[in-house]
């Protein structure tokens, strides 16, 4: 680090980084058993503070954490998976040498990256800190963690768990806002793991380039849904409407732009509207506890501006469309006839708004999607393998779920991540272990 950079970094951050610079050489030599003990200790700490985590999520996002999913369960699953498989993940991979090196021995060993800087997001402020942290630890790295300041209660309990579980030379945590983030980005770390928007992802990648650090960027995009004319539109509409409003639409995997055959438009809109009515309204009034809220006033204003702009330019509101400033609420909304110059089509809206488009020829959809940045996810509803294969061949995305939404992320044996504008790198299970490791090639003659 040069002198100018040091002057931008607080003494506390510099001290911790210096500790980890020395300690990484000890951590890299830890066995699977030693790393597993760290993971067991982390699991026990999360369990001990689970009620505090739930209370924090309710305070920050007006969101409960259901036992069958939410934020805690994926963390437990990630830890348990690593504990069960870490020894085999760490094992050297023997490679058959080419004819040129007949008689030699070749192998790949998995070494830690070194020091990993981990930035958590605000929309899943607990899970998306600890899931990556599990893989950082499994791969034998040190970590500097910054939970997200926009979810302050969850940030506080996350920091508490980390400080109780780890010495700072192993895993350190700092709480703060943009100024702190900028300080941390000055550190010559070996890898940066960031979850957030593409705009901030570009800032993180530029900072990493100063030190030639590798990156994992989990970003987002306008996830499209392509619905086959011959599929069950009631089933598709119900699933899409439910998933669009998860966490009040503040999920990077939420379906956003829907492409339905023109002959099925009315059926789709009727079912989606009825689904919202059944899920989120009681006697015609929005049940705010069932829906959650937008994270803060600035983001509420942003989502409101998308709605206002779309309606001013001629979009039709089929359901919802109302906003409530006092509670930072946005009603589950369905739009049609959204003009191409509407702001809501230029950026990921990160709110509970579906935009529905029709097609008569599937090529119309392909032309539209091929002109857009690659999204984090693509969803296809069809029982026709030929239709599915054709959509896959004519589109690109980070991942795909067929006949549902988001489920490819839930299957932890699959790699999860984006493509270009929606992200760089993969994680979950062994894919995360490899992402946070260096594959070192060894040839012995």
Q: Which residues are catalytic?
A: 218, 252
List the strands of the sheet with 191-195, edge to edge.
Answer: 171-173, 142-146, 115-119, 191-195, 214-218, 423-424
Residue 245 CA to residue 258 CA, distance in Å, equals: 14
The pair phi, psi for residue 364, each rounded to 5°, is -60, -40
Residue 381: closest CA among 251, 263, 224, 202: 224
Ranges of beta strands (E only) in 60-204 are 93-95, 105-112, 115-119, 142-146, 171-173, 191-195
| CA-CA-CA-CA dihedral for 237, 239, 241, 245, to nearest 10 | -170
| DSSP collapsed to 3 states, 67-105 | CCCCCHHHHHHHHHHHHHHHHHHHCCEEECCCHHHCCCE
- List residues bridging with 107 in a β-sheet: 94, 442
- List residues bridging with 172 in a β-sheet: 144
Residue 377 CA to residue 348 CA, distance in Å, equals: 12
Residue 112 CA to residue 27 CA, distance in Å, equals: 9
CA distance to 49, 132, 379, per residue, from 138 (Å): 22, 10, 32
Residue 363 CA to residue 347 CA, distance in Å, equals: 23
261 with 229: CB under 8 angstroms? Answer: yes
Residue 220: closest CA among 177, 250, 178: 250
Strand-strand pairing, 323-324 and 329-330 = antiparallel
Residue 445 CB-density burial (10 A; 0-12 exposed, 13-18 middle, 19+ buried) = exposed
Between 50-61 and 72-90, two packed helices, what is the crossing angle to 10 degrees? 120
């Amino acid at each position: 680090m040069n002198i100018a950079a040091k002057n931008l970094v607080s003494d506390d951050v510099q001290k911790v980084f210096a500790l980890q610079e020395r300690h990484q050489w000890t951590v890299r030599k830890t066995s699977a058993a030693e790393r597993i003990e760290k993971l067991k200790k982390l699991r026990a700490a999360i369990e001990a503070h689970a009620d505090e985590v739930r209370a924090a999520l309710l305070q920050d996002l007006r969101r409960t954490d259901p036992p069958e999913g939410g934020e805690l369960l994926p963390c437990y699953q990630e830890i348990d998976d690593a504990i069960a498989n870490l020894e085999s993940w760490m094992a050297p991979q023997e490679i058959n040498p080419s004819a040129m090196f007949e008689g030699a021995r070749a192998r790949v060993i998995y070494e830690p990256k070194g020091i990993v800087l981990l930035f958590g997001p605000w929309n899943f402020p607990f899970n998306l800190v600890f899931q990556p942290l599990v893989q950082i630890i499994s791969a034998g790295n040190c970590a500097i963690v910054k939970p997200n300041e926009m979810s302050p209660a969850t940030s506080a309990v996350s920091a508490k768990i980390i400080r109780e579980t780890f010495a700072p030379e192993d895993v350190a945590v700092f709480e703060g806002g943009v100024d702190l983030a900028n300080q941390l980005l000055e550190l010559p770390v070996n890898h940066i793991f960031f979850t957030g928007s593409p705009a901030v992802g570009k800032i993180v990648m530029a900072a990493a380039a100063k030190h030639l650090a590798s990156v994992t960027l989990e970003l987002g995009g306008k996830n499209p849904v392509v619905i086959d004319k011959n599929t069950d539109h009631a089933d598709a509409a119900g699933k899409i409407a439910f998933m669009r409003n998860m966490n009040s639409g503040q999920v990077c995997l939420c379906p956003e732009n829907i492409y339905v055959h023109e002959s099925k438009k009315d059926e789709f809109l009727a079912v989606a509207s009825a689904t919202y009515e059944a899920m989120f309204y009681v006697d015609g009034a929005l049940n705010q506890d069932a829906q959650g809220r937008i994270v803060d006033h600035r983001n509420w204003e942003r989502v409101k501006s998308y709605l206002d702009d779309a309606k001013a330019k001629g979009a039709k509101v089929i359901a919802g469309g109302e906003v409530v400033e006092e509670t930072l609420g946005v009603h589950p909304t369905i739009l049609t006839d959204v003009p191409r110059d509407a702001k809501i089509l230029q950026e990921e809206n990160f709110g509970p708004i579906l935009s529905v488009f029709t097609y008569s020829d599937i090529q119309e959809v392909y032309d539209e999607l091929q002109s857009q940045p690659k999204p984090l996810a693509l969803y296809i509803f069809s029982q026709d393998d030929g239709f599915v294969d054709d959509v896959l061949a004519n589109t690109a995305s980070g991942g795909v779920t067929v006949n549902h939404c988001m489920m490819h992320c839930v299957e932890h044996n699959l790699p999860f991540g984006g493509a270009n504008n929606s992200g760089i790198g993969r994680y979950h299970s062994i894919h995360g272990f490899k992402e946070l490791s260096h594959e070192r090639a060894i040839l012995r003659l």
